[in-house]
Amino acid sequence: MSNIRKSLVREPIIHISRRTDIPRWHGWLIRCGGVLAGLLLSGLIIFLFFKVNPISAYGSMINGVFGEKWAGKTFYDGFAYSFAWIRDTMILLLIAVGLAPAFKMRFWNIGAEGQILVGAIAAAACMIFLGARVPSGLLLVIMAVAAVAAGAVWGLLPALAKSFWKTNETLFTLMMNYIALLLMEFFVAKWEDPPGSNSISIINRVDKTGWIPPVIEGETFGTSFLVITVLVLIFTTLMYVYLKHSKQGYEIAVVGESENTARYSGISVKKVVVRSMTLSSAICGLAGFFIVAGRDHTISDTTAGGRGFTAIIVAWLAKFNPFVMILIAAFLTFMDYGAKNIATRFNVPNDFSQIITGILLFCILGCEFFINYSVKLDFGRKGGKE
C-alpha cells in the first residue's frame, strides 16, 4: 500500500514554511549576509568594469564620504566633508519617517516625490516674496508651515478618494508626482532668475534670509546640518512614540492589519486613513522645506531628486521602525556618495551609483525571504503521511 502511494504522491523537493520564532539577532545576521552579497556582487562588477581591486574601490568610497583631504587639515575642515552625507541622510530619513504611518496602514503613498516638490515650492515662494519684509527666524517658521500645508493638500486628495471611493492610492499618488513636477517647472519658468535662464539661482544669496543658520556663527563649511540633524532626530523619536505608544498609532496598526477588524471594533476607517495620510504627506512636505532652507537654497526639477522613491524603500526595509530607518538611510546615502566618488575617480558617468544602489537593494530585498520563511530541502524522503 505504501509503495503504491509513494509512486502516486509526488513530494516537492523544496519545503517552504513561514517562521515567526526567529531570534532577532538571527534576522540581523541574515540581513548582514544580504548586504555582504550585494557588496560582493557590486565588487565583482567594479572589478569587471574598471579592473581594480574592489577593496581599494570601497576604500575610495569611504574617502569620498569622509573626505580625501583628511591629511594635513584641521579637524573641522576634515569633518566638513562628511557634513553633506549626514545632512542628506537626515533628509532621506525624514521622508521615510513621514511615509511610515501611511505604509503601516497599508496605504501605498508612492507620492512622496511630489509632496516634497510642492513643499519646496511653497517654502521657496515664501523666501522670494517675504524675504525682504520678515526677519529670518520668523520667515523660517512661515516657510515650514507653508511647506507642511502644501504637502498635506497633495496627500489629502488621494486620501479622500481612497476613503470615499476606494480609488487605488498607488496609482493616484504616482500621478500626483508628475503634476507636482510640472508645477515645479511652471514656477521655475515663472520666477526664473536671471530672466531667460529657465532656472532659479540661489535665493537671498546676500542676506541669507530663510536659510537655516549655521551653529557656529560666521563659519562657511556648513554646520547648519546640525540644526537639521537635531530636528529630524526629534521627529523620528516623536514618530516612534506616536506609532508605538499612542491611540492613533494603534488605530493605524489595526486598519493596516485588517479593515474589517477595525470597523468591527468601532474605528472609523475613513477618519484614520485621511488623518494618517495627511500626516504622512505633511511630513514629506516638511522635507521639501529642509531641502530648500538647509540644502539647495533654490528650487529646480531635481529638488526631490528621487529621494521620495528611495525613502519608500528605506521605510519598507525598516519595517516602519523609525530607528532602523536611520541605519538604512545612512547606508544608502553612504553608498550613493561613495559610488559617485568612484565614478568621478574613474571618469565614468555618475549613473554608476544607481547601478550599485540597485544591486544592493535587490540583495537586501531578496534576503528578507530567508528571515520570514524557512526552506528545507527534501530529497527522496518518504512522501506524505504513512
Partner 1 sequence: MDQLISLFTTAVTFGTVIMYGAMGEILTEKSGNLNLGVPGIMYIGGIAGLIGSFFYENGNPNAIPFVGMLIALVCAFAAAALAGLLYSFLTITLRANQNVTGLTLTIFGAGFANYFGGSLNTMAGGVGQISVALTSGVFRYSVPALKTIPVAGQLFFSYGYMVYLAIILAIVLNWVISRTSVGLNLRAVGENAATADAAGINVTRYKYLATCIGAGISGLGGLYYVMDYIKGTWANDGNIEALGWLAVALVIFATWKSVRAIWGAYLFGALYWLYNFVPSFIELLNNTFGWSIPPMTRAMQQIIQMLPYVVTIIVLLFVSFRKRKEDQPPASLGIPYFREER
List of residues contacting partner 1 (CB under 8 A): 16-18, 108, 110, 161, 165-168, 170-172, 174-179, 182-183, 185-187, 189-190, 198, 306, 309-310, 312-313, 316-317, 348-349, 351-355, 357-359, 361-362, 365-366, 368-369, 372-373
Q: How far is CA 321 from CA 253, 327, 328, 347, in A?
A: 13, 11, 11, 38
Question: Between residues 70 and 178, which has the closer beta carbon with respect to partner 1?
Answer: 178
Contact in structure between 128 and 187 (CB atoms under 8 Å): no
Residues in the chain: 386
Q: How far is the CB of 130 from partner 1 (least distance, A)?
A: 21
Residue 170 has φ and ψ, to the nearest 5°, of -60, -45
Contact in structure between 10 and 374 (CB atoms under 8 Å): no
Question: Between residues 294 and 338, which has the closer beta carbon with respect to partner 1?
Answer: 338
Question: Between residues 142 and 175, which has the closer beta carbon with respect to partner 1?
Answer: 175
Q: How far is the CB of 176 from partner 1 (least distance, A)?
A: 8
Q: How far is the CB of 175 from partner 1 (least distance, A)?
A: 5
Q: How far is the CB of 362 from partner 1 (least distance, A)?
A: 6
Residue 383 has φ and ψ, to the nearest 5°, of -75, 155
Q: How far is the CB of 322 from partner 1 (least distance, A)?
A: 18
Contact in structure between 44 and 189 (CB atoms under 8 Å): no
Question: Between residues 29 and 138, which has the closer beta carbon with respect to partner 1?
Answer: 29
Burial class (CB in 10 A: 0-12, 13-18, 19+), 21: exposed
Question: Between residues 110 and 212, which has the closer beta carbon with respect to partner 1?
Answer: 110
Question: Between residues 29 and 189, which has the closer beta carbon with respect to partner 1?
Answer: 189
Q: How far is the CB of 50 from partner 1 (least distance, A)?
A: 12
